[in-house]
Amino acid sequence: MVLFQGVTDDMKTAASDVLVALARSHFHFVMSELQRHLKAMGKVPEEFVLLTLGKLSRSYGTAPLASRFGSGSAVVGSRDPPPS
């Protein structure tokens, strides 16, 4: 992806961490944008996108999805977000 040319791994990691922090209050916006990058036809997703998705799942589990569908207490493996 041309967008990431010349960007260091440290900058990508910092951007990933910022997206995970933003997801605390804007989960659906962050997830929507990451999914858009995953759906790029005929392209392998950037490593940064996959790493960010992994961080999101580790940090928030299924809690945001559970609240979206109204079954928060019945979801196995859901966790509270990490303390700020």
Q: Where are the domains of the chain?
A: 8-72
pLDDT at 82: 53
Report d(CA 66, CA 46) in Å as an integer.
Answer: 27
pTM check: above 0.75? no
Distances (CA, A) of 65 to 40, 45, 46, 77: 23, 23, 24, 12
Task: Specify the higher pLDDT residue, 49 or 41.
Answer: 49
pLDDT tens track for 12-47: 899 999 999 999 899 889 988 888 888 876 778 888
- The pLDDT value recorded for residue 57 is 85
Task: Please spell the DSSP secondary structure of 15-57, one letter per residue.
Answer: HHHHHHHHHHHHHHHHHHHHHHHHT-TT-PPPHHHHHHHHHHH
Q: What token pair was written down for 11?
A: 């900058």
With beta carbons less than 8 A apart as the criterion, state whether 40 and 77 touch. no
